[in-house]
Amino acid sequence: MSKVAVIGGSGIYNLDSVEVVNKFEFDTPFGKMSSPIYELSVDGSNFYFVSRHGEGHHITPSEVNYRANIYGLKKIGAKVIVSISAVGSLKQEHAPGNFVLVNQFIDWTKGQRKRTFFEDGVVGHVSVANPVDENLHGRLCEIIKTTDINHSTHGSYICIEGPQFSTRAESNIYRSFGADVIGMTNVPESYLAKEAGMAYATVAMVTDYDCWKEEHCTVEEIMKVMGDNYISAQKLVKVMIPNLVNNPVEFTPENKYAIVTNEALISSKSKEIINTLLH
């Protein structure tokens, strides 16, 4: 079975070289996933795919069941997750159409999202000092350099609640933080992957300059760039998947010693969840 998963938009289904091998639907202890897990194949290399916003894009960033998505992928055997996400740019050098291989996150959500697996009598702590796995990030940097995609290999992603875009005042605050791009989904997704002992990395596709820049950009224009970005994403997936599948990224899960609660106090249901996350 595949160890590699991609979380992203449904545009990946349109890649000519992708074959649908299987489809999995099952319940998780945290509810329903955003979409079925599709097992896809690129040139004989299989990987899993979940549509973050659901098929047809009907789930808002705040409504995504991040825990179910990560848990479901871990349960099926995925070890590595690559997020492919649309973002706005907070710096001049990250122009629309460019990709940014994010290596840090800033959480600016509003507390509406379930952001940990450890609850209901279970206390656990996992470091997210390096939320993006360094080995996976390094591999993606090598892979994208083999393509003609304009890109940056480092950057900080600030995650806001949405679904509205920023005010200009907010956008300038985020720029003062040193953030490179802005999005609405990769937190708590990346943090939950850490709790699940998975290697996570983000390919951020720039659709527009956030409103700090004195130029108006319509939703229609953004959607046009998104369409072009998905063409680039498909190019990347075609070379990325065989590389990651045939030469697995080595990493050390950081959740092994996360649980601090006395085992005798943990319910059988929670033990089953913990067993999935830690193995």
Show the tokens assigned to 223.
Answer: 């959607």
- Of the candidates 196, 177, 9, the residue with the CA atom closest to the CA atom of residue 84: 9
* CB-neighbour burial class of residue 218 (10 A; exposed 0-12, middle 13-18, buried 19+): exposed
**Residues contacting 161, CB < 8 A, separation 6+:** 61, 62, 108, 109, 110, 112, 184
DSSP structure class, residue 243? H
Spatial distance between the Cα atoms of 152 and 67, rounded to a whole number of angstroms:
29
Compute the chain's Rg from CA coordinates: 18
The single residue of 16, 180, 210, 228 carrying the catalytic annotation is 210
Instruction: State yes or no: is 208 an active-site residue.
Output: yes
Contact 66, 189 (CB under 8 A): yes
Instruction: State yes or no: is 180 an active-site residue.
Output: no
Torsion of CA 185, 186, 191, 196, to 10 degrees: 90
The single residue of 43, 148, 208, 228 carrying the catalytic annotation is 208
Angle value at C-alpha 70, between 138 and 178, nearest 5 degrees: 50
Contact 210, 89 (CB under 8 A): yes
Torsion of CA 202, 138, 230, 55, to 10 degrees: -40
DSSP structure class, residue 260? -
Q: Enumerate the active-site residues.
A: 208, 210
